[in-house]
Amino acid sequence: SKEGSTDEDTDQVVRIGYQKNGPLVILKSLGNLDERLKEEGWEVEWKEFQAGPALVEALNAGGIDVGRTGNSPPIFAQAADAPFTTLAAGKSKFYGSGILVPEDSDITSVSDLKDKKVSFAKGSSSHFLIVKALEEAGLKYEDIHPEFLTPGDARVAFEQGNIDAMVVWDPYTASTEINSGGKLLINGEGISTDRDFFLATNDFADQHADITEIIMEEVEDSSEWANNNHEELIEMLSPILKIDEASIKKSIERREYGVDEINDKIIKEQQEIADTFYQLNIIPKEIHVKDVME
Amino acid sequence: MNFHTEEPIHVQLAGVEKWYNELNVLKGMDLQAERGEFIAVVGKSGCGKSTLLRLVAGLEQSSSGFIYMDQKPLKSLNKHARIMFQDGRLLPWKRVIDNIRIGLPGEWKGKATEALENVGLGDKKKEWPNNLSGGQRQRVALARALVHDPELLLLDEPLGALDAFTRMEMQGLIESLWQQKKFTSILVTHDVEEAVALADRVILIESGMIMMNQEIPLARPRQRTQPAFSMYLEMIMDRIMNRMPKKNYIVEQNYQMS
Amino acid sequence: MNFHTEEPIHVQLAGVEKWYNELNVLKGMDLQAERGEFIAVVGKSGCGKSTLLRLVAGLEQSSSGFIYMDQKPLKSLNKHARIMFQDGRLLPWKRVIDNIRIGLPGEWKGKATEALENVGLGDKKKEWPNNLSGGQRQRVALARALVHDPELLLLDEPLGALDAFTRMEMQGLIESLWQQKKFTSILVTHDVEEAVALADRVILIESGMIMMNQEIPLARPRQRTQPAFSMYLEMIMDRIMNRMPKKNYIVEQNYQMS
Amino acid sequence: MDRIKGSMKQIVPWVVPFLLLICWQVFSWMGIIPEKILPAPSDVFQAGLSLLGTGELYEHVSISLWRALAGFLIGGVIGFLFGLFNGISKYSDLLFDTSIQMLRNIPHLALIPLVILWFGIDETSKIFLVALGVMFPVYINTYHGIKSVDKKLIEMGRAYGLKGKSLFFSVIFPGALSSILVGIRFSLGVMWLTLIVAETISTDSGIGYMAMNAREFMQMDVIVLSIVIYALFGKLSDMIARYFEKKLLHWNT
Amino acid sequence: MDRIKGSMKQIVPWVVPFLLLICWQVFSWMGIIPEKILPAPSDVFQAGLSLLGTGELYEHVSISLWRALAGFLIGGVIGFLFGLFNGISKYSDLLFDTSIQMLRNIPHLALIPLVILWFGIDETSKIFLVALGVMFPVYINTYHGIKSVDKKLIEMGRAYGLKGKSLFFSVIFPGALSSILVGIRFSLGVMWLTLIVAETISTDSGIGYMAMNAREFMQMDVIVLSIVIYALFGKLSDMIARYFEKKLLHWNT
Ligand SMILES: Nc1ncnc2c1ncn2[C@@H]1O[C@H](COP(=O)(O)OP(=O)(O)OP(=O)(O)O)[C@@H](O)[C@H]1O
Ligand SMILES: Nc1ncnc2c1ncn2[C@@H]1O[C@H](COP(=O)(O)OP(=O)(O)OP(=O)(O)O)[C@@H](O)[C@H]1O
Ligand SMILES: [Mg+2]
Ligand SMILES: [Mg+2]
C-alpha cells in the first residue's frame, strides 16, 4: 500500500519561504511540520530568504507557496496586485522595535531628532514607526534627514557615528543595545505593532486549505514551545543567527511568539500603514488591505 | 586531394586596371601566360608588381578589366594559384615545419620535410619563425609555396633577402621543380639576371603599363657567362636604366637557339 | 640636441661570441672599424650578419668578449649608433613622415622631408606604411636611419627589396651622405657588387668567423666597369662560392690607386 | 559588406531588440505574458513618461551620471596607471599584479560594510565603489595591451633614441591602444553596473536606487524601465567607445 | 629580471598583501582599528577555523564552486561563440553586437525579479546569472581578439587554401588567443563576483550567501573572511589563467 501511495504523494510538495530572523525558522528546526505533513503525503521544501521583499517577490512569481514576512512587504505586494492571501498574523512585537541612539547621545526625546540623520530601511516597519513617532512628537517627516540603510549596514554607520539614530527591529535592536552602546529612545509601544504575516499564494490557499491549516497549527505549536522553552530556543537560534546569546535572550524575552487570527484591529493597523506609505509616495496607489486578508 | 593536375594553367589578363583611391597603379594590362610558361616581372620599386600578383592570386579585385584562368574569369580567390608573399607571412605561433604544412592535404610530413631540406633548412624544422634570420624566413616561405605543387605559382621577390650563393641554389631549385612539374609561373624580381636566368619571358612594368615584353629563348640550363645571356641581360638593363642601347638588338635572333 | 659630433666613432670587437641556446652563431670575432671607415659585411644567409649588427647596436648582449666604442666598452644600448633593421619596422600607426621623424630632436620637419625626397618618396609623405610597396617601406626605413646623422650607421640589407635602378640611386645616396658627414658605417648586404662599390673594406663571415677581410682601396666615385672593380668583385665572389680563383690575386696591388 | 548601405548599417543592429519588443508587446496583449508579472512595453513606456513628467527620471539619471563619471575618471585613471606600470616594469608587475588580481575578485556587495566604515554613507563611498569597479577592466586590458605591443617595434624605438615619455607616446601607447579601448568600453558598462550596488548605500536618488527601490516595492514597470534605461546607456557607452576606436585606430583599416 | 631568482619571483607578489595584513594586525592590537568594526586578522582566521571545523565553510565553498563552474562553462561557451561569429562575420556582428552590448549593461540585481520569473528560485536562476556575467568579458575579448588578428596572416591562410575550420584553428584562433585568455581571466573573476548576487536568491548555502548573511547580521569577522576567500579565489583563478597563457603562448616569448 505504501508504494502505491508514495507514487502519487511524492508529487505533493509545499515550498515554504522563511527568513532566519523569524518564527518559521523555529518550526523548521523542530522538524514537526515536516513530520506531520509527511503523514499527509506532503513534503516540505524550505526556502531561505534574506529579506521580506525578496520573499514576496518569489511568492509573486510562484517560486514559493507559503511564507512569512514582516508587516510591510504584504502591502507592497498588494499594491503590485500580487496574487496572494494572508493566512494569519503574528503577535505584536513592539518592544523590540524602536529608535536607537548612542548611549552618550544628546538626543533624549523624539523631538530632538529634528535635523538629525536617522537611518532605517525604506518601506520597512521602521519607516512607519519613525513617521508615527515624529507625528506624535509634533515633528514632520521632513524635519529629519532619512538615511535609507538595511539593518546590517546601518549598524556599521551607527558605530562609526555616520548617523545619529537608527530605527530597527529585533534582534538588531537587542544586539545594538548590548554590543554597540545603543540605547532605545522609544520602542514601538502605541505606535507600531510590527507583526509577522503568514502569506500564501491564492492558488495554494484555494486548493490546499487543509495544508495551510496544518501549517498554521504547527506554527502555533512551535510558538508555544518557543514561549515556554527560552533556554532551548536560545541554544537553537544562536548558531543559526550567529548572534551572541545575550542579544538573542534579550530579544526573545521581550516578545511573545504566537499566531493571531486576522481581525478588524489587525486590518486597521495594516490599513494605517498602507495609507501612510501611500502618502509618503512609497506605494503608487491606495489599497484596501482587507482585500487580501480574508 | 592534391589539386595539381597534369595540365598547368593558362592565365590571361585583359585590360586590367587597379586604382587605390586616386592612385592608378595598373593602367590597363594585357598579358598572357601560356600553360607552363615561366614569366618574370621586373620594374621599379612601387611600379605595381606585387599588385599584379595579388590580382592574379585573387586577393584583390581589379578596378576594371578581367583576369581569366583557363578562359574562365577569376571572381574571387584563385584556387589554382599559390603565392609567395613579398613579406613572408609566416605564422609566428607555428614551428617552421608546421608553417610549411599549412593547407597541405593528406600525407604532409615527408613533403614538408623534403621542401625544408631543399631550401637548406632541414635543421630548423622545430624552430619558431621569430628565431630565424631574415633569409631563413624567406626560404621557409619559399618552401611553403613550392611544396604545394600548384598549377600556377606566383613568387613575389622570393630571393630578395638571400646572399649570392644561396640565391643561386634557390634559383636552381625553382628551375628544376618547374621543369619537373611544369606549372605556370610568374616571378616578380628586382634582379634582372635572375629574371633572364629563369624566365621564358621577361616583362617590364613602367608607369602601370607593360613597357617591354621580351622572350628569352635560351636553352636550359643557362650559362650566365654565355654571350646571349649577357646580351639579354644588358638589353633589359639598358631599358630599365633608360640607357641608350649600345648595340642593335636585332642580333638577338642569332642567339636564339644557342 | 643633435648628437652628431665632428669626429666619427671608432668601433672595436674583441673576441665577441654569441650563443643562442645551443647555437653558436658568432665564434670569437675580432674586428676594428676606424673612424669614418665604411665596412661591408657579406656572408651566407643565417651566418650571423644581423646578429653582429645587433650586438654593435647594443640591442643584444654578447655571450663573451667585448665591444668598444671609442675604447669604452659597450654595456647597453649604443647611443652613438643608428641601425636600420632588416625588417624595416615602421610604426604602422604613424604616417610615413612621422615614422621618419622618430627620435629626431628639434627642427625635424625640413630634415625629414628632405630625407624622404632623397629616397624618392616625397609624394608618400602622408601615406600609412601599410599602404606602401615592399621597396617603398624599405626606403622609408632607410630615410629614417639616414636622417639621424649618427656617428655610427648600421645598415642591415638596406636595399634588398629594391630594383637595380633604385638600388643604384640609393647606393649613391648612401655614399654621398657618408662622404659628406663621414660617419663610421657597417653595411650588411648580400650583394657583393654593392659591398665593393661602397665599402673601404669587405668582411666575409663564415661559420661564425671572419674568413676574409679585404680592403677595397679603389678611388671614389667607383666605376663598376673598371677592371679593378671587377677583380675585387670576382675575388670575393670566388671566395663565397668556394670557387678556385682564376687568377692570382697578388695583381690587386696594381689597381690599388686607380 | 559594400552591398549593405550606410543607412542599413544603422538600422540592422536594432532589428533584434525591436523584434523582441514587438513579440513582448504582442504576447502581453494576447495575455500570454501576464501583465502583473511582466508589464507590456507600452506600460513601461507609460511609466517612463510619467516619471519623466514629474522630473524624477531626469533627477535620477543626472545624479547617477555624475557619480558614474566621477567614479569612471578616478578608477579609469588609476587602472590605467597601474596597467601601465605593471605592463612596463617587471618589478612593479611582480609587486602589484597579484594584489590587484586579488582585489578584483572582491564583490562590491560584500565590501559595502567596509566601504561604509572607510568612507561613510555619503557620495564618497558611492564614487569609491564605481571607481573600484571601473578600475579593473581598464587595468587588465591596459596591462595586456602593453604586454602585447610588438617587441620589435619597442626595440626599434629604443634604438632610435626614444625613451620614457617619447617611447611611450610614440610606440607603446599606440600599440596598446586598441586593447586599452576594449578595457574602456568594458568599464563604461561596469560604471553603470556598479551604481546599482553603490546606490543601495543611503541615498534617495540615482537610477540604481530607482531600480532597487522598485524591486523592493514590486513595481515591475519601473524595474523594467530601469533595465531598459541601463540597456540604452550600455548602447550609448558602446557608441562612444566605438567612436574613439574608429577615430584613434584609423591606421588599422 | 634574470637577477631575481625563481623563488624570489614566487615570494615578491605576496609582499604587498602580507604587509597590509601585518599593519592591520598591529593596528588592531594597538586598538587603532576598533575590533568590533574591523576584526583583527587573527580573529578572522579564528572565524575561518571554526567555520572549517563545523564543515560549514567547506559546504559553502563547494556549492558555490559548483554553481560557479556550471555558469562559467555555459556563459563562457556562449560568449566565446558569439565573439567568434561576430568577430568573423560582419552580418552576425551587425545583427547581434548592439543587442549584446545592451544586455551587458543590465545589472544583475535589477534582473533578479525577471530571472525569478523565468527560472524560478532554484539553481537554474543562480547558474543563469553566473553564465550571464561570465559571458560578456569572454565575448568582448574574443571579439576584439579576432578582430585584431593580423589581416595579412588571414589573407595568407586563405591564399594557401585554408578555410572554415582549418583557417580558424591555424590562423584566427591562435592569433586571437592571447586576447581570449584575457577575457577568460577576467571572467574567472566575474564568475565569483556574480555568485554574491545570485546567492541572494533563496538559498541557504554558498559563499555569497555566507557573505550576505554575515552582512545582514553584522558579523564583521565572517564578512572579512569571505572577502579574503574571494581574494584568494581571485588569485587562484588568475594563476590558472596564467598557466594556460604560459603554456599556449609559448611562441611569443
Ligand atoms: N632569437 C634567436 N633565437 C635563436 N636563434 C636565433 C635567434 N636569432 C637568430 N638566430 C639564429 O642565428 C643565426 C644567425 O642569424 P642572423 O639573423 O644573424 O643571420 P643573418 O646573417 O642576418 O642571415 P640573413 O642574411 O638570412 O639575414 C641563424 O641561424 C638564426 O637561426
Ligand atoms: N593598399 C594600398 N593602398 C594605397 N596604395 C597602395 C596600396 N597597396 C599598394 N599601394 C601603392 O601602389 C603602388 C604599387 O604597389 P606594389 O606593392 O604593387 O609595388 P611593387 O611593384 O610591388 O613595388 P616593390 O618592388 O617596392 O615591392 C605603390 O605606389 C604603393 O604605394
Ligand atoms: Mg612588391
Ligand atoms: Mg639578417
Q: Is residue C7 part of a domain?
A: no
**Whose CA is closest to A88, among A198, A7, A234?**
A198
Q: Determine the distance separating the centroid of ligand 3 and the alpha carbon of B241, expressed in angstroms.
A: 19
- Whichever domain contains B258, its CATH number is 3.40.50.300
pLDDT given for residue C251 in this prediction = 40
Q: How many domains does chain C have?
A: 2
Whether chains E and D touch (3+ CB pairs under 8 A) is answered by yes
Predicted confidence (pLDDT) per residue in C141-193, tens digit: 999 999 988 899 999 999 988 988 899 999 999 999 999 988 999 999 999 99
What would the mean pLDDT of E198-222 be, rounded to a whole number? 83
Q: Which helix (H) or strand (E) is A235 found in, with range?
A: helix A230-241
pLDDT given for residue B93 in this prediction = 92
E32 touches chain D (CB under 8 A): no
Q: Which ligand is nearest to the CA of B26?
A: 2
Phi then psi for residue D63, to 5 deg, are -65, -40
Do the Cβ atoms of E198 and E70 come closer than 8 Å? no
**Whose CA is closest to A84, among A211, A213, A203?**
A203
Among A223-227, B44-48, C13-17, whose mean pLDDT is lowest? Answer: A223-227
Same domain, B192 and B127: no
Residue B63: count other Cβ atoms within 10 Å of its Cβ: 14
Q: Is residue C75 part of a domain?
A: no
Residue A35: all three cell numbers together: 513530520
Q: How much of chain C exceeds pLDDT 70, in percent?
A: 91
Residue whose CA is closest, atom 23 of ligand 2?
A: B46
Same domain, B199 and B236: yes
Do the Cβ atoms of A59 and A202 come closer than 8 Å? no
Residue D249: all three cell numbers together: 585606430
Q: CA angle at residue E113 from E110 to E114, to 5 degrees?
A: 95
Same domain, C118 and C224: no
> Which of C115, C149, C183 delimits the end of a domain?
C149
Same domain, B166 and B46: yes
Which pLDDT band, with edges at 50, 70 and 90, does C250 fall under?
A: very low
Torsion of CA C174, C179, C183, C189, to 10 degrees: 30
Distance of residue B89 Cα from the nearest chain E Cα, in angstroms: 6
Q: Is residue B31 part of a domain?
A: no
Among B38-47, D70-79, E206-215, whose mean pLDDT is lowest? Answer: E206-215
Q: Is residue C193 part of a domain?
A: yes
What lies within 8 Å, CB to CB, of B87 at 6+ separation is: C134, E152
> Which of B149, B173, B198 delimits the end of a domain?
B149
Task: Give the nearest partner residue to A57 out of E37, E116, E214, using CB atoms.
Answer: E116
Q: Is C50 in the pocket of ligand 1 (CB under 6 A)?
A: yes
User: Cβ–Cβ of A242/E214 closer than 8 Å?
Assistant: yes
Do the Cβ atoms of A187 and A126 come closer than 8 Å? no
Q: Determine the distance separating the centroid of ligand 4 and the alpha carbon of B123, expressed in angstroms.
A: 18
Residues of chain B with C-beta less than 8 angstroms from the C-beta of E177:
93
Phi then psi for residue B109, to 5 deg, are -60, -50
Order of strands across the sheet with A197-201?
A43-49, A13-19, A66-69, A197-201, A84-90, A259-260
Instruction: Report the distance separating Cα C251 and Cα C235, nearest Å.
Output: 11
Report which of residues C3 and E223 the model is more confident about: E223
Instruction: Look at residue B252 and tell me whether its pLDDT is greater than 50.
Output: no
pLDDT given for residue D5 in this prediction = 65
> Which of C134, C149, C164 delimits the end of a domain?
C149
For B244, the domain range is 37-60+152-258
What lies within 8 Å, CB to CB, of A277 at 6+ separation is: A72, A75, A123, A127, A128, A283
Q: Is residue B25 part of a domain?
A: no
Rounded to whole angstroms, what are the CA distances from E131 to B43, B164, D223, E87?
A: 59, 61, 21, 20
Residue E165: all three cell numbers together: 575550420
Domain boundaries, chain D: 42-252
**Whose CA is closest to B69, among B80, B59, B84?**
B80
Residue E209: all three cell numbers together: 550567501
Same domain, B49 and B168: yes
Residue A29: all three cell numbers together: 528546526
Same domain, B144 and B173: no
The strand pair at C152-156 and C184-188 is best described as parallel
Instruction: Report the distance separating Cα C182 and Cα E37, nearest Å.
Output: 75
Same domain, C203 and C226: yes
Q: Determine the distance separating the centroid of ligand 2 and the alpha carbon of C134, expressed in angstroms.
A: 7
Same domain, B142 and B182: no
pLDDT given for residue C121 in this prediction = 93
Same domain, C145 and C205: no
Same domain, C203 and C165: yes
Which residues make beta-bridge pairs with A63? Answer: none
As a whole number, the mean pLDDT across chain B is: 87
Q: Is C208 in the pocket of ligand 1 (CB under 6 A)?
A: no
Contacting subunits of A (3+ beta carbon pairs below 8 A): D, E
Task: Give the nearest partner residue to E251 out of B82, B83, B128, using CB atoms.
Answer: B128
Instruction: Report the distance separating Cα D200 and Cα D207, nearest Å.
Output: 11
Residues of chain C with C-beta less than 8 angstroms from the C-beta of B191:
164
Residue whose CA is closest, atom 25 of ligand 1?
A: C45
Phi then psi for residue A186, to 5 deg, are -145, 160
Q: Is residue C239 part of a domain?
A: yes
Instruction: Report the distance separating Cα A16 and Cα C187, nearest Å.
Output: 86
List per-residue pLDDT tens for chain D, 253 residues long: 445 566 777 788 788 888 888 888 888 888 777 776 778 888 888 888 888 888 888 888 899 899 999 999 999 999 999 999 999 888 888 888 888 888 888 888 888 888 888 888 888 989 999 999 999 999 999 999 999 899 999 999 999 989 888 999 999 999 999 899 989 988 888 888 888 888 888 788 888 888 888 887 778 888 888 888 888 888 888 888 888 888 888 777 6
pLDDT given for residue A12 in this prediction = 85
What lies within 8 Å, CB to CB, of C254 at 6+ separation is: C228
What would the mean pLDDT of E64-81 be, rounded to a whole number? 93
One-character DSSP codes across E152-179:
HHHHHHHHTT--HHHHIIIIIHHHHHHH
Instruction: Report the distance separating Cα E182 and Cα C130, nearest Å.
Output: 28
D30 touches chain E (CB under 8 A): no
Residues of chain A with C-beta less than 8 angstroms from the C-beta of E213:
20, 50, 242
Closest-CA residue in chain E for A19?
E202
Same domain, C175 and C217: yes
What would the mean pLDDT of A203-227 be, rounded to a whole number? 86
Same domain, C204 and C121: no
Instruction: Report the distance separating Cα E44 and Cα E117, nearest Å.
Output: 38
Contacting subunits of C (3+ beta carbon pairs below 8 A): B, D
Residue A222: all three cell numbers together: 512551535
Q: CA angle at residue B160 from B154 to B164, to 5 degrees?
A: 120
Pocket, ligand 2, Cβ cutoff 6 A: B 20, 23, 25, 43, 45-51, 86; C 131-136, 161
Superfamily for domain range D42-252:
MetI-like (1.10.3720.10)
Q: Is residue B15 part of a domain?
A: no
Strand, coil or helix: C32: strand
Instruction: Look at residue C48 and tell me whether its pLDDT is greater than 60.
Output: yes
Residues of chain D with C-beta less than 8 angstroms from the C-beta of E106:
227, 230-231, 234
Contacting subunits of B (3+ beta carbon pairs below 8 A): C, E
What lies within 8 Å, CB to CB, of D237 at 6+ separation is: D185, D188, D189, D191, D192, E105
* Omega within 30 of 0 (cis) for the link into E107: no
